[in-house]
Amino acid sequence: MNILLIASTEEEIKETIEYLEESWEKKSFWEYTNGEHSIITLVSGIGIMYSMYALTCHPAIKEIDLILNPGIGAALSRTLDLGRVYLIEQEGFGDIGLEESDGTFHDIHDLNWHKRNKLPFERGIIRPKKLINPTYLPRASALTVNKIPGTFDGQENFERKFHADILSLDGAGIFFIARMLDKDVLSIKVTNRYVEPWLKQIPHQEGCIKQLNMRTIDIIEALVKPEETDTVSKLFR
């Protein structure tokens, strides 16, 4: 299996890279191998434009079997626990469209700029080609935005319109490219704060990053574990 491990910042996968340095064979500056398995690491930069550019321009993208994307998200839903890592089962673009004078927002599908069921969308959202969850993480839906709202009105607009659990700055772009290139994608997000008036300091940020890396390593080990009887069915949940 050829895995592309992509994150917005080096911090989000630093401990995972340290694990690869210790436990895998280093083939090049960014590639690690373990038997027939290969992991290429990629730090894209923060934002939709950087993640999409990094994926489409990567020289090995055609050989990749799975795009693995760990990252940080803000919990829009209060039912989510801070510091917990969630498997993202669907993504959407949250702020491409038109805003009315009263704050009402119409997305690209409402405006008929793009059909709701035209690839890579399904009813206006993007799902992975198949849902891969080898470590049985709790699931959540995500929404990608260019800014995290810093007011209660902004938060309510997202809740009312999209009913998503987590907000991030790049996930939908990665889902978009994965579906357009017919690649599997596995995205996980750790929730480091609730969406509310902006906090300059994020409490327990280091703990969240540690949890993210621990779960990423768990996923890698589960994916490359030698197959047993009925292993395939265990990968999907």
pLDDT tens per residue, the chain (237 residues)? 999 999 999 999 999 999 999 999 999 999 999 999 999 999 999 999 999 999 999 999 999 999 999 999 999 888 999 999 999 999 999 988 888 887 778 889 989 999 999 999 999 999 999 999 999 999 999 999 998 777 766 777 777 777 899 999 999 999 999 999 999 999 999 999 888 876 666 667 889 999 999 999 999 999 998 765 454 555 555
Cα separation, 197 vs 202, in Å, equals 12
CATH of the domain at 67: 3.40.50.1580
Residue ranges making up the domain that contains 175: 2-234
pLDDT the model gives residue 48: 94
What local confidence, expressed as pLDDT, does residue 236 receive?
Answer: 56
Closest by Cα among 53, 47, 61, 44 to 183: 61
Burial label, 40 (beta-carbon count in 10 A; 0-12, 13-18, 19+): buried
Q: How many domains does the chain have?
A: 1
pLDDT at 203: 65
Note the pTM of the prediction, 2 decimals.
0.90
Burial of 219 (0-12, 13-18, 19+ CB in 10 A): buried
Compute CA distances 227 → 13, 22, 39, 135, 230, whole Å: 26, 23, 18, 15, 8
